[in-house]
Every structure is written in structure tokens, then in C-alpha cells.
């Protein structure tokens, strides 16, 4: 049952308890507790929540499921708020998935794994839905089995000059299209690139983490996604032990060997032992071993910057000591 709401054009506006808000099921975007989130929390402390969270009645139980606003919810908790303003909309599962993905793809920094699972979720929802749905569930075009079409439309939504939520929908043209092409048009990516991202969802978590961290290149990761799950675990164990990663040509060879059923631990070692001209020496530091030396609120970037700064100062001191020693030696020689 809703608390006191303003009801405008079927959209309910009001405040709810943060404890009644639930993250979107299988939400592919992670809320990182970084400096940006801290700054958002400070802004909310000073000015409040300027943009309401978009939610729907929780289909899996009590409360509400967040469609857009997971970072704002986290920031509100940091700011010590117990309630937050929300906009409750009526959406089925497919509409909610599409709206959730669209709202989160506007983020500035998105990990490859987040794109991968988001693209996959949205494409599956669009295929089940068979039509285009925007954030407010207004139908733009219908798709028939014989002649699927998409109405390309100028869709806008927001508050008008009187403070009312409104949707504008101007139909421009219609053309035959399927979900894959439609998604590519909406994202500004090629169908092939979208398919590559979706391939990443076949990677085991440990290798996917390496992709997110930039340790494995995107094109290499796509090839590795064709390896069987047990082969990926074996590959990761060897990469971790030897502190190396495959280049694109090596990844392609691993893929072919996997397809022919000849990929085992020995074969992986043989391929990875090949010297690569661009292979750089890496130093691995355990985060838990270094944690005690940093303030608890330090982000990974702040930790890295501090380590580099201290190493630079140490290097400069070593150079200064060398110069002093050299000067003393010359003085004694005279």
C-alpha cells in the first residue's frame, strides 16, 4: 500500500523508507564505494535527492524494486537518510529490464562485464517483448511475425513547466527491423561488437575480473570465452602461477585447441611459455598485506598514487645519497 503520494498521469511520486527498497534482480551494474559516491552523499546531505529514484512494486515480495537509482540509494544510506523520494511506475519484467539497462548505461565509467551482462539482459528482454519500450512504458511500435517493424521515434520524458511528469512521443518513420538491429541502433554499437560483449558472459568470474582490471585485453577475452569452463579454470591457475596472460594469437590457438579437444594443462603451458615481444614484467602485491598501511576510506587509485609517490621520493633520496657519496669520494681523492 502506498504512503501519501502525488499522482500525475499514472506515475506516483512520494517518499519511501530506504529499508523498503530492493536492488534490481541480477543487477549487472555494481555500486562502487569510491570518492564519487562520497561526493554524491555530501551533495544529498546539503541539497537532498534532486532526482527521485525510479522504482516499481517489488514482484518478489514486499517493498519496491529499484529500476534506476542504485547509487543514489547507497549515497542516501551514507548520508544517514531513512527515507528517499521515488517515482513508482508500472512495468512488467521486460519493460523493467530495458529501463534499468538504459538508465545505467548513462554512467561515465562502465566495466566490460557490466556492459556484457546488461547487453545480454536487454537483448533477451527485447526479444521476449517483441516491441520497443521506453522508460515510461509507452509503446512506440508493434512487431508482427510476418513483418516486424520498428517505429523510430523522438521520445522524451521529464517535468514540464508546471512541474508535471510528461512524455512526448513523435513518430518519425517505420522500417523492418529485428531486436539485434534495434539494440545496435539504440546503443550506437555494431551488432558484431554487441555480440562480442555478450560473449564475455561465458567467462568464469576470475578471468572476467582480469578483463575489468585491464589485465586481459577485450579481444583476447572474447576468444577465451569459447573455452570450456574447466579449461578456463586451468588457464587462470597457470596465469596466476606464471604471472602472464595470453596475447590475441595465443588466445586464438587456445580456442582452436579447445574446439579440437586437445587443450589440457600441458598445452596451455606450452602456449603461454612462448615469449611475446610486448610482454612486460609484472609485480604482484597482495592487497590484504598492504591494507594496514592505508586509511580505511582510501580508494584503489589513492593507494596506487600514494605508492608511486613514496617510491618516487625513495628514488630521489637514493640518487641524492649517490651524489653525496660521489662528492665525498672526489674530495678524499684530492
Per-residue pLDDT of the chain (334 residues; tens, 9 = 90+): 344 444 444 578 888 898 999 999 989 998 888 888 888 988 888 888 888 999 999 888 899 999 998 999 999 888 888 889 899 999 899 999 999 999 888 887 899 999 999 999 999 998 887 644 443 333 333 333 333 333 333 334 444 555 544 444 443 334 445 888 988 888 888 999 999 999 999 999 999 999 999 999 999 999 999 999 999 999 999 999 988 999 999 999 999 999 999 999 999 999 998 866 555 556 667 777 788 888 888 887 888 888 888 998 898 888 878 777 766 666 665 5
Pair 219, 261 in one domain: yes
CA–CA separation, 334 and 331 (whole Å): 5
pLDDT in tens, 98-123: 999 998 888 878 999 999 999 999 99
Question: Is residue 76 in a domain?
Answer: no
Q: Is residue 34 part of a domain?
A: no
The pLDDT value recorded for residue 146 is: 33
Domain-embedded: residue 313: yes
Q: Please tell me whether residues 265 and 296 are part of one structural domain.
A: no
Under 8 Å between Cβ of 84 and 53: yes
Give the dihedral sign, CA 215/219/222/223: negative
pLDDT of residue 10: 56
Specify whether 324 is located in the same domain as 266. no
Q: What pLDDT score does 135 carry?
A: 37
Q: Are residues 297 and 268 in the same domain?
A: no
Q: What is the dihedral of CA 40, 45, 51, 52, to 10 degrees?
A: 120
Q: What local confidence, expressed as pLDDT, does residue 323 receive? A: 78
pLDDT at 278: 56
Is the same domain home to 222 and 263?
yes
Q: Dihedral, CA atoms, 200, 203, 209, 215, nearest 10 degrees?
A: -80
Three-class SS of 66-80: EEECHHHHHHHHHCC
Answer yes or no: is 149 within a domain.
no
Residues 6+ apart with CB under 8 A from 53: 21, 66, 68, 69, 72, 73, 84, 85, 86, 87
Residues 6+ apart with CB under 8 A from 118: 28, 29, 101, 104, 105
Residues 257, 215, single domain; the answer is yes
Pair 210, 267 in one domain: yes
CB 6 within 8 A of CB 12: yes
The count of domains in the chain is: 2
In a domain, 278, yes or no: no
The boundaries of the domain holding residue 244 are 203-272
Answer whether residue 300 is part of any domain.
Answer: yes
The Cα diameter of the chain in Å comes to 98
| Domain boundary, last residue among 225, 243, 272 | 272
pLDDT of residue 277: 56
The alpha-helical segments, DSSP class H, found in the chain are 35-47, 70-78, 93-104, 112-129, 179-187, 191-199, 205-212, 218-224, 229-242, 248-259, 265-272, 287-290, 300-333
175 found inside a domain: no
In a domain, 324, yes or no: yes
Amino acid at each position: 500500500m502506498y504512503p501519501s503520494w502525488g499522482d500525475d498521469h499514472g506515475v506516483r511520486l512520494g517518499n519511501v523508507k530506504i529499508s523498503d527498497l530492493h536492488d534490481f534482480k541480477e543487477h549487472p551494474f555494481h555500486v562502487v564505494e569510491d570518492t564519487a559516491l562520497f561526493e554524491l552523499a555530501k551533495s544529498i546531505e546539503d541539497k537532498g535527492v534532486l532526482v527521485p529514484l525510479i522504482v516499481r512494486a517489488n514482484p518478489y515480495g514486499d517493498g519496491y524494486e529499484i529500476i534506476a537509482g542504485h547509487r543514489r540509494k547507497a549515497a542516501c544510506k551514507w548520508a544517514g537518510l531513512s527515507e528517499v523520494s521515488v517515482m513508482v511506475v508500472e512495468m512488467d519484467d521486460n519493460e523493467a529490464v530495458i529501463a534499468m539497462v538504459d538508465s545505467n548505461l548513462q554512467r561515465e565509467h562502465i566495466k566490460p562485464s557490466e556492459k556484457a551482462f546488461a547487453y545480454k539482459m536487454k537483448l533477451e528482454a527485447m526479444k521476449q517483448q517483441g516491441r520497443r519500450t521506453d522508460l515510461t512504458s509507452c509503446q512506440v511500435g508493434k512487431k508482427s511475425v510476418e513483418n516486424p517493424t520498428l517505429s523510430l521515434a523522438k521520445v522524451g520524458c521529464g517535468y514540464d513547466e508546471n512541474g508535471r511528469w510528461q512524455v512526448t512521443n513523435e513518430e518519425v518513420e517505420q522500417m523492418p527491423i529485428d531486436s539485434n538491429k534495434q539494440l545496435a541502433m539504440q546503443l550506437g554499437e555494431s551488432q558484431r561488437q554487441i555480440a562480442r560483449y555478450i560473449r564475455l558472459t561465458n567467462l568464469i568470474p576470475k578471468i572476467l575480473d582480469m578483463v575489468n582490471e585491464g589485465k586481459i585485453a577485450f579481444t583476447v577475452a572474447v576468444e577465451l570465452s569459447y573455452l570450456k569452463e574447466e579449461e578456463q579454470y586451468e588457464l587462470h591457475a597457470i596465469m596466476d602461477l606464471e604471472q602472464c596472460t595470453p596475447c590475441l594469437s595465443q588466445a586464438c590457438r587456445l580456442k582452436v585447441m579447445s574446439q579440437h579437444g586437445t587443450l589440457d594443462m600441458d598445452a596451455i603451458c606450452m602456449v603461454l611459455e612462448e615469449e611475446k615481444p610486448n610482454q612486460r614484467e609484472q609485480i604482484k602485491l597482495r592487497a590484504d598485506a598492504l591494507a594496514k598501511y592505508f586509511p580505511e576510506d582510501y580508494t584503489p587509485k589513492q593507494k596506487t598514487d600514494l605508492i608511486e609517490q613514496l617510491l618516487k621520493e625513495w628514488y630521489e633520496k637514493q640518487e641524492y645519497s649517490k651524489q653525496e657519496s660521489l662528492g665525498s669520494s672526489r674530495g678524499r681523492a684530492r
